Amino acid sequence: MSNFAIKDIPSQSGRIAVITGATSGIGYETAKALAGAGARVIIASRNGQKGAQVVAEIRGTSPGSDVSFEPLDLSSLASVADCAARIAASVPHIDLLINNAGVMAIPKRYETADGFEMQLGANYLGHFAFDLHLMPKVLAAPSPRVVTVSSLAHRSGTIHFDDLQLKNGYTPWKAYSQSKLATLLFSLELERRARAEGWNLMSNAAHPGYSVTGLQSTGPRMGRENRPALLERFAKMLEPFMSQSAAAGALPTLYAATSPDAKGGVMYGPDGFYELKGTPTLAKIVPRALGKSTWRRLWEVSEQITDARMPLPVAA
């Protein structure tokens, strides 16, 4: 596992991958690697102009690759449902569903179109609904995997069930950490449900460590007229010592998605100091993220507020 690299990805010929937020950073590197390995790749993201550019770039690096773009705004449940419906109508099944898109550390509290706190809505609830809408196509694949990108920030996260949308006491990192803990809990609960029902579905998680992407600037600059935030300036100072490239940061995701040795119900991350950088290995999951009752409670709450449901009954 510790030496896993792009060259170790098994052939993905005949497989269909859907990746959110793949127009830059970790998602882009993941899409490029999977297309290079022969997968049909569908990039679901907000920016259509950037999407067209990325599709052209990947086709240029992997001639003959099958790459396409679908517009998706994870901060809108209507957009989520529309995008999922279009994808479902265009494919016989989905072998890889990779929940990658995210926004980090927004200075002020914003709400999505549906009234959710923006980081929880875009990072977690949008993906929750998207995945459940697509689950029939995922379960139609012979050996599907759902990979959810979490973060080291899950370690400081708490699910605030009494104020899930953080209408009181919002801080950028409190919201981000909650959203990334939520994505991890979703991954673990989906794996539990798959095993309970006997589905041939693997659900696992990955985190990129500290990888240099647009994540460090996009969220922190919201509402700042594109001026660099303190977080962004601090991150720039640390990059030479503690970070790795987006391509390296994509390796845990790619391992989780493609390796014959990958397992469900775990998270993969870099093997270096504090899991900041390095090659893929099993990542640490904090003990409070391992409570099955919390997984189930978050899932049930998420169903209620998104009105998204699994297509089949699931054992408790």
Mind telling me the catalytic residues?
176
Pick from 159, 190, 175, 230: nearest CA to 97? 190
Q: Which long-range contacts (CB under 8 A, 24 or more apart) does 278-281 make?
A: 278/209, 278/244, 279/1, 279/2, 279/3, 279/4, 279/5, 279/248, 279/251, 280/1, 280/2, 280/4, 280/206, 280/251, 280/252, 280/254, 280/255, 280/256, 281/1, 281/2
Pick from 238, 233, 255: nearest CA to 34? 255
101 contacts 28 by C-beta, under 8 angstroms: no
Q: Which residue has the tokens 């490239």?
A: 245
Q: Where are the alpha helices (DSSP H) in 104-153?
A: 118-119, 126-139
